[in-house]
Amino acid sequence: MDALAHGRLLVAVSAVLEDTDESGEEKSSHMAVVSMINAAGEKGLLAFTGVDSMTAWDPAARPVPATGAGCARAALEDGAVALVIDVSGPSPIALDLSVVRALAARG
């Protein structure tokens, strides 16, 4: 838990289009962290152990480095009940809410 709390992960951020002009060109957008919703409607914040695993999931996602504890805090602030690490592999793992809370408290 200590290694994960203080180790580096990458949070995926993507551009979100807010508005277009009359021709359909982008007028404004913002960057947002990326999360997934499971079949039960629960949100999980995505994090990755490296650029390669993030690129395998989405080549357009941009990496933002953070500690594991920082990722856990971001997940909680975003209303997520899980932190999903390396969703596209090679070894995906989902940390449930109790682990996310414990991880957030370590940082």
Per-residue pLDDT of the chain (107 residues; tens, 9 = 90+): 889 999 999 998 877 666 766 776 656 666 678 899 999 999 999 999 999 999 999 998 899 999 999 999 999 999 999 999 999 988 999 999 999 999 999 97
**Measured in Å, how far apart are the chain's first and last C-alpha atoms?**
11
Domain parsing of the chain, residue ranges: 2-105
**pLDDT score of 33:** 81
Q: How far apart are CA 86 and CA 36, in angstroms?
A: 12
Q: Concatenated DSSP letters for the chain?
A: -HHHHHSEEEEEEEEEEEEE-TTS-EEEEEEEE-EEE-TTS-EEEEEESSHHHHHHH-TT-EEEEEEHHHHHHHHHHTT-SEEEE-TTSSS-EEEEHHHHHHHHHT-
**pLDDT score of 31:** 67
CATH, range 2-105: 3.40.1350
**pLDDT score of 29:** 64
**pLDDT score of 40:** 94
Q: Provide the whole-model pTM.
A: 0.83
**pLDDT score of 18:** 67
